[in-house]
Amino acid sequence: MKLKDRHVFVTGGADGIGAGIVLDAAQEGAEVSFCDINVEKGEAYARYLSKRGLKKFSIKPMLGFSRVWSVRTKRLLRSLVW
């Protein structure tokens, strides 16, 4: 529980190395937010983590790096307690 009461934000968290980071951080007690360009895969991974009883939530990204995505990301990051 090294990451208990911490929040981890992972980009590309639905597959590969990113998914491994999400899983490891959740197993260490962190609340984990992750996004991925592949929304369906991200939602499937979030369901998988939930079934394992791990704390998590998935962020659905906008396609591309639009101004709207940038504003939403800034709001999310401001709301996190470090």
Question: What pLDDT is recorded for position 34?
Answer: 87
DSSP-assigned states of every residue in 57-81: EEE-PPSS--HHHHHHHHHHHHH--
Question: What pLDDT is recorded for position 16?
Answer: 95
Q: Is 7 helix (H, G, I), strand (E, B) or coil?
A: strand
Fold of 7-79: Rossmann fold (3.40.50)
The structural domains of the chain, with segments of one domain joined by +, span 7-79
How confident is the prediction along the chain (82 residues), in pLDDT tens digits per residue? 688 888 888 888 889 999 999 999 999 988 888 888 888 888 889 889 888 888 666 666 645 545 555 666 667 777 765 5
Question: What pLDDT is recorded for position 62?
Answer: 47
